[in-house]
Chains A and B, each alone.
Chain A
Amino acid sequence: MIGSQLDETITKPIAVSTEGIHKSYRSGATVTPVLEGVDLVIRREQCVFLAGPSGSGKTTLLSILGCILSPDQGRVQILDQDISTLDEQARTAIRRNRIGFVFQRFHLIRGLTSLENVCVPLTLQGMPHHKAASRAADLLDAVGLSHRAHTHSHNLSSGECQRVALARALSADPDLVLADEPTASLDATNGQEVMKLLRRLTTEEGRTAIIVTHDQRIFPFADKVFHLENGRIAETAGSTSTALLESER
């Protein structure tokens, strides 16, 4: 069963691919290379983890895949679009319309309720308020937080905050969800809950998820794990995530 599912995944179209990505940070005369020729292919509906020690380049790679940073060299293709040469405006548009972000520290907007936080990406897209609120309510329901829709973010628990952040990431109906250490600020139970939600995005909603994590407890949720070391992909491993998810249902 696992083998057939992996085969099925391999036949899916490519969601993200990189070729020879290089990225360095400059501080005065000092140049620190962070990525040194990263090649990877991620197919649609895959849940892929980027793992590796601190300083290995995971966050930088995620930032490039999220159109926040541009590579110094190499080619990046996201959802059939070459983003390597796009200007800031075009990259902002891709972030707004096609990518959902989940951050380690949630980064919900203070002063807004859960519902309003989920509405933010839709507001940025220019959606009328009543439509945005209706979609946000559906998403909060999907992450099990409809009863907390009108609660301000500072009154939510960490687990609830991350689920709101996840709902926010999905509100603009993105094809690609990028998560940066989504379980790092959560306890084991909440971490598992969030990962189940993230995993369902790929299996049930056909989205692609790329997750940066150190948390080995959640590795079973991945279809593929890319281990980065010294700015390069050192190892790629498959996983039994779908089976795990099925077993937990």
Chain B
Amino acid sequence: MWSIALKTLIADRGKLLTALVGVVFSIVLVNVQGGFFLGLIRKASLLVEHGQADIWVGHRKMHNVDFPRDIPQRWVNRIRAVPGVKRAEPYLIGFADMSLPSGGFEQVAVVGADQASLLGSAWNVTQGNPLALARQNAVIMDECEVQKLEFPKVGTTREIGGRRAKIVAMSHGIMGFLVTPYIFTTYDRAASYLNKSPDVCSYFLVQLEPNANVNRVCEAIQRRVPELDVFPREEYGWISINYWMTRTGLGISFGAATLLGLLVGMVIVAQTLYAMVLDRLAEFGTLKAIGATERQVCSILLIQALAMALVGSILGLLAVWGIVYFYSTPRAPIVVPVWLSLGSCLLVLVICLVASLLPYLRIRNVDPLMVLES
């Protein structure tokens, strides 16, 4: 059956190509749309994901890493005393204006990390030395944000919150969900840029001892600081993502576009399969006349649908790989995890099988008598 199904499928090259275009279209659309969505939404938890902290402790009902509320900095000692905690450091996030050479200002998100551990500070530093943050007025910014900040370089001095800030290093690809560029510096310096008292901070970042159980330590911290919320890294990352998902309808718009693409792909595949079947009604009639069972005839159609799904998925994934390779940027990252690719292939497989249902209904009604009457 495989041989008959595949050879007859290949014989109709024009129609096969059309169906493959439909499948490839669906795969590319799901992966690229999904990839854009994941790339965008992951920006919402960028600091959490790369912050090197196992646990995030912050104000009660904290819901977004970029919008923290102040908490007393002195409570960090309570957390440091919890068994299993290797390190707990205050962390500050807030917004301030950076002066620009043209005389204008650009709002930036100032991130202050502990000077000794640099827990939660910039990563992927490509220019300068991250340890230079110890120097006076030192800050790190991202090289992808230079346009917004009128092209500063390592060594450039600006003002943030009316205070001097010297760029000592640049990272690559730290672009948050908000349009404001991140500026990394030390905790104390951040407090001064943000004009905050050093007695308050935004979070406590906690690193665990090896073999410590994250959930148990979370519970222990919660008991010590019942006024605060305590979340493992992954959970707080999801909370931050969920904030944008639920408050912006982002998921719905991306999802709707993806669904539309899938629908178009399905229509193309179904229409092509149907056209192929209509073209070959006499052959299906012949098969029935010479003794093919309904199951065998159906299996031919299913094999053809499977083959189209498989080949189309491979071609589609190659196209996706090319798109990600050439077009994914820190500003518009396309994140295509394996589960998305596999999921899209599975989805397309289901689409192809569903699409073969319509032609199957047509074939079911084919009377073998037709080959004798023709």
A245 within 8 A of B: no
Question: B235 on the interface (CB 8 Å rule)?
Answer: no
0/1 interface trace, chain A 80-124, chain B, CB 8 Å (1 if under): 000000000100110111011101110101111000100011011
Is there a chain A Cβ closer than 8 Å to B287's Cβ?
A: yes
Assuming the A-B contacts A95-B291, A103-B286, A120-B287, are A109 and B4 also in contact, with contact meaning beta carbons closer than 8 angstroms in the complex? yes
Give the CA-CA distance A107 to B7 in the complex, in Å: 16
Closest to A104 in B: B374
* B371 contacts A103, C-beta separation under 8 Å: yes
> Of A69, A100, A129, A169, which is within 8 A of B369 by CB?
A69
**Nearest CB of chain A from residue B276's CB, rounded to whole Å:** 11
Total A-B pairs, Cβ < 8 A: 88
| Nearest CB of chain B from residue A46's CB, rounded to whole Å | 21
Contact A124–B296 (Cβ < 8 Å): yes
Counting CB contacts under 8 A, is A59 at the interface? yes
Q: Which of A59, A89, A124 contacts B290 (CB 8 A)?
A: A124
**For residue B296, which residues in chain A have a CB less than 8 angstroms away from its CB?**
124
- Structural contact, A111 and B12, CB atoms closer than 8 A: yes
- Convert A44-87 into 0s and 1s, putting 1 for each residue whose CB lies closer than 8 angstroms to a CB of B: 00000000000000010011001011000000000000000000
Task: Give Cα distance in the complex from A59 to B118, angstroms.
Answer: 90
Q: Does A180 belong to the interface (CB within 8 Å)?
A: yes
Say whether B372 contacts A120, CB under 8 Å. no
How many residues in B have their beta carbons less than 8 Å from beta carbons of A? 28
Q: Would you call A66 and B289 a contact (CB within 8 A)?
A: yes
Inter-subunit contact A110/B283 (CB<8 Å): yes
- Mark out the residues of chain A between 188 and 243 whose CB falls within 8 Å of any chain B CB in the assembled complex: none
Most buried by A among B7, B9, B286, B372: B372
Contacts of B262-291 to chain A: CB distance below 8 A: 280, 282-283, 285-291
Bound complex: CA A119 to CA B7 (Å)? 13
Say which size band chain A's interface belongs to: 20 to 34
Decide if A123 touches B8 in the complex (CB within 8 Å): no
* Alpha-carbon gap, A100 to B289, bound state (A): 10
Establish whether residues B291 and A92, one from each chain, have CB atoms under 8 Å apart when the complex forms. yes
- Which of A68, A89, A95, A109 touches B372 (beta carbons < 8 Å)? A68
Given A68-B372, A93-B291, the answer on whether A110 and B1 have CB atoms closer than 8 Å is no
Question: Complex Cα distance A112/B6, Å?
Answer: 10
- Tell me how far the C-beta of A35 lies from the nearest C-beta in chain B, rounded to whole angstroms: 14
Contact with A along B285-324 (1 / 0, CB 8 A): 1111111110010000000000000000000000000000
| B8 contacts A109, C-beta separation under 8 Å | yes
Measured between C-beta atoms, what is the minimum distance from B307 to chain A in Å?
13
From B7, B282, B292, B369, contact of A68 by CB (8 A)? B369
- Which residue of the partner chain B has the closest CB to A121? B290
Question: Which residue of chain A has the shortest Cβ distance to B368 in the bound complex?
Answer: A68
The reply to whether B291 and A112 form a contact with Cβ atoms under 8 Å apart is: no
Any A CB within 8 A of the CB of B10: yes
On whether the beta carbons of A121 and B291 are closer than 8 Å, the reply is yes
Instruction: Please list the residues of chain A having a beta carbon within 8 angstroms of any beta carbon in chain B.
Output: 59, 62-63, 66, 68-69, 89, 92-93, 95-97, 99-101, 103-105, 107, 109-112, 116, 120-121, 123-125, 129, 168-169, 172, 180
Listed A/B pairs (19) with beta-carbon separation below 8 Å: A66-B289, A68-B372, A92-B292, A103-B289, A103-B371, A103-B372, A107-B286, A107-B289, A109-B4, A110-B11, A111-B8, A111-B10, A111-B12, A112-B7, A120-B287, A124-B290, A125-B291, A168-B290, A172-B291
